[in-house]
Amino acid sequence: MKMRYSYNMKTHKAFLKQYLPQENKDEVKEKPCVFGSDEKEYKKNMAKKHFRFIISPESQDLPMELYIKEVVKEMEKTTGYSFYWQAAVHTDTPNIHAHVVINGFDKKGKEVFFDYDTLTRQFFDIASGLATNIVGERTREQMQATRDKWTVAKRVTEVDKDLLARLKDGQVTYRSGDERRRLLFLEELHLARFEGGHNFSLHADLESILAANGKYNVFLDTRNKYREELRLYDPSKMGELKGTIVEVLNQDDDKYWVNSLVIRDEKNKLYFVPTKRPENKSAVNKHIVIKIKENKEEVKKPKRGHEK
């Protein structure tokens, strides 16, 4: 389960009108049905704030619409909210998945808020528990398949934490086949290097790089694309950033989870900068200034006069 949120009404409306029913994809001939709470009531009470979930169960045998309705029902029981929500099942990728949007205010007028524990543990437990109830316990082969997925995950895993805990002088010795497969995959990502025997060295920023990719799913691919060190811009620590826009990555909820820019600063360092709003593709090669003002990140729009 993945979640993103926004405070943008235009994004909210576009997601509901275009993305859920896949009206933005001409190649999808059989459009999915949108379901959830009453559509008219949802639109009448739409707020800028909204949450978007992607639910992609391991089992592809689930009756997805029924499953999603049960997941939302359990989420309501857990949080005490009575959601305005809409959803659709998308079948245009190898893994059937559902997109769910929840309005930022519920039917009682309460503002919806999810704390970290609710998102990372309780909702995951709800989704996985309901899937098990519907299709039954997983077989040994299915559990092994899950472990295999962890070895190629582009985020911080429990295996990574174990490896980092045993790191000595920049190197670690693998103790199992799963650890070896994980290290070989990290080597493909240029985050580990085979040193001989059972030993691998790990990138000094392995955990922070994987954490960045867990939050911004194209961070690693973008980093490897440019074949140089890509830094995640942290306004609270780095302050003002001046540079040239190298690439614009606008959110589409499938490939890109967030809007972001790749910026090369005046010292020739490359930064990945998440943004609240999409940027026009024509901004590439233009100068931009990002600075902190009153504890908020302020992005000065690129100007034509600053084009390089």
Distance CA 184, CA 177 (A): 11
> How many CB atoms sit inside 10 A of residue 280's CB?
11
Each domain of the chain, given as residue ranges in start order, spans: 2-135, 151-206, 216-306
Pull the structure tokens for residue 218: 């194209």
Helices (H), 189-288: 206-215, 219-226, 235-238
Instruction: Give the pLDDT confidence score for residue 250 in this predicted structure.
Output: 82
pLDDT tens figures, 62-95 = 889 999 999 999 999 999 999 999 999 998 777 7
Q: How confident is the model at residue 304 (pLDDT cuts 50, 70, 90)?
A: very low
The angle subtended at Cα 225 by Cα 1 and Cα 153, nearest 5°, is 30
CATH of domain 216-306: 2.40.50
Pull the structure tokens for residue 303: 């100007």
Residues 6 and 47: beta-carbon distance below 8 Å: no
Rounded to the nearest 5°, which phi and psi values hold at 108? -100, 5
Whether 252 has a pLDDT exceeding 70, the answer reads: no
Distance CA 198, CA 277 (A): 46
% residues pLDDT > 70 (the chain)? 86
Global confidence as pTM: 0.58
